[in-house]
Structure 1
Amino acid sequence: MEDKVIFHIDINHCYAQIEEMKYPELRFIPMAVGGHEEKRHGIILAKNDLAKKAGIKTGESLREAYEKCPDLLIIPPAYNDYIYYSREIRKLYQEYTDHVEPFGLDEAWLDFTGSTRIYGDPCMTAARIQQRVLREFGLTVSVGISWNKAFAKLGSDLKKPSGMTVITRDNYKDIVWPRPASDLLYVGYATEKKLRSRGIYTIGQLANYPVHWLKESMGIAGEVISAFANGEDRSNVAETFFRTPVKSVGNAMTLIHDVNDADELRPAMYVLCEAVASRLKDHDMEGCVISVSARSGGLEWYGKQRKIPQPTNVSEEILKTAMELIEESYDFSVPLRAAGVSVSQLHPWHSKRQLSLFADEEAYDDALRIDTAMDRIREQYGFYSVRRACTLIDRPLTEFNPKGDHTVYPIGYFRGRKMSDGII
Structure 2
Amino acid sequence: MDYSLYPRNDILCIDMRSFYASVEAVKLGLDPMKTLLAVIGDISRPGSIVLAASPALKEKHGISNVSRFFELPNDPAIHIVQANMADYLHVSIQITKLLNHFAPKEAIHQYSVDEVWVTVNGLEKLFGTRQEIAILIRDAILNEHRITSAIGIGDNKFLAKVVMDLHAKKIESGIAECKYEDVAEKLWPFSVEKIWGIGSRMKRNLHRLGITTLGQIAQFPLDQLKKHFGVMGEQLYWHAWGIDLSPIFGDFTKTTQESFGHGISLLRDYTKEELLICLLDLCEEVCRRARTAQKVGKTIHLGIGYSTETGGGGFSRSTSLYTPTNITMEMHQVCIRLFNTFYDGHSKIRRVYVTLTNLSDDQDTQLDLFEERSKQKDIGYVMDTIRDRFGATAILRASSYTDAGITLDRSKKIGGHWA
Q: Same fold (TM over 0.5)?
A: yes
**Amino acid paired to 1:156:** M
For residue 258 of structure 1, report the CA deviation from its aligned partner.
12
Deviation at 1:51, TM superposition (A): 0.9
| 1:339 CA drift (Å) | 11
Alignment-derived partner of residue 231 in structure 1: 242
Which residue of 8, 28, 40 maps to 1:34?
40
Name the counterpart of 2:68.
Answer: 61
C-alpha spacing 1:205/1:32, structure 2 compared with 1 (3 Å): same
2:245 maps to amino acid = R
2:188 is aligned, of 160, 177, 193, to 177
Structure 2: which 5+ runs fail to align? 1-5, 303-315, 343-349
Deviation at 1:266, TM superposition (A): 6.9
Could you tell me how far apart the structure 2 residues matched to 1:119 and 1:291 are?
51
SS of 1:145's equivalent in the other structure is strand
Q: State the SS of the aligned residue for 2:181.
A: coil
1:156-176 deviation per Cα after TM superposition (whole angstroms, max 9, x unaligned)? 222237611111012121111
Q: Please give the per-residue CA displacement for 1:297-334, whole angstroms capped at 9, x wherever unaligned.
A: xxxxxx9998642233445656888998xxx9xxxxxx
Q: Which residue of 2 aligns with 1:10?
A: 15
Match of 2:384 among 366, 375, 384: 375
Deviation at 1:92, TM superposition (A): 2.8
Deviation at 1:48, TM superposition (A): 0.5
Aligned counterpart in structure 1 of residue 57 of structure 2, from 51, 54, 59: 51
Give the corresponding residue for 1:311: 324
Note closer, same or farther for the CA distance 1:73–1:135 as it changes in structure 2 (3 Å cut): closer
- What is the distance in 2 between the residues matched to 1:322 and 1:148? 44
How far did residue 376 of structure 1 move? 1.5
1:148 shift after superposition? 2.2
Alignment partner for residue 133 of structure 2, among 86, 110, 125?
125
Aligned residues: 370
Do 1:86 and 1:105's aligned partners in 2 also have CA atoms closer than 8 Å? yes
Match runs of 1:137-286 below 5 Å: 137-157=145-165, 158-160=167-169, 163-237=174-248, 239-240=250-251, 242-244=253-255, 248=257, 273-274=286-287, 276-281=289-294, 286=296
For the aligned residue pairs, the C-alpha RMSD in angstroms reads: 4.5
TM-score relative to the length of structure 1: 0.70
- What is the CA–CA distance in structure 2 between the aligned matches of 1:322 and 1:218, rounded to whole Å? 33
**Cα distance in structure 1, aligned partners of 2:267 and 2:224:** 33
User: Offset of 1:222 from its aligned partner?
Assistant: 2.7
Question: What SS does the corresponding residue of 2:112 show, helix, strand or coil?
Answer: coil
CA distance in 2, matches of 1:192, 1:105: 27
Q: Using a 3 Å threshold, how does the CA distance of structure 1 residues 251 and 287 change in structure 2: closer, same or farther?
A: closer
Identity of aligned residues (%): 24
**Equivalent in the alignment of 1:332:** none
Distance 1:16 1:147, change over 3 A: same
| Distance in 2 of aligned mates of 1:185 and 1:134 | 26
Query: Given the superposition, is the C-alpha separation of residues 305 and 312 from structure 1 closer, same or farther in structure 2, using an over 3 Å criterion?
Result: same
Structure 2 Cα separation of the partners of residues 70 and 304 of structure 1:
48
SS in 1 for 2:73: helix
After superposition, the Cα gap between the structure-2 partners of 1:288 and 1:392, relative to the gap in structure 1 and judged at 3 Å, is: closer
Which deviates further from its counterpart, 173-182 or 105-114?
105-114
1:354 to 360, 365, 368: 368
Task: Letter of the 1:106 partner, please give it.
Answer: D
1:256-294 deviation digits (Å, cap 9, x = unpaired): 99999997x97996586255324323xxx54546799xx
Is the 2:300–2:355 contact (alpha carbons within 8 Å) kept by the matching residues of 1?
A: no
Q: Which runs of 5+ in 1 are unaligned?
A: 293-302, 329-334, 402-424
Partner of residue 80, structure 2: 74
Specify whether residues 15 and 181 from structure 1 end up closer, same or farther in structure 2 by C-alpha distance, changes over 3 A only: same
In structure 1, distance between residues paired with 2:182 and 2:266: 36
Q: Which structure has the greater CA radius of gyration?
A: 2
C-alpha displacement of 1:341: 6.7
The structural deviation recorded for 1:47 is 0.3
Structure-2-length-normalised TM-score: 0.71
C-alpha displacement at 1:9, in angstroms? 1.2
For 1:192, the aligned partner's letter is K
Amino acid in the other structure paired with 1:103: Y
CA–CA separation in structure 1 for the residues paired with 2:409 and 2:131: 42
Q: What's the CA shift for 1:55?
A: 0.8
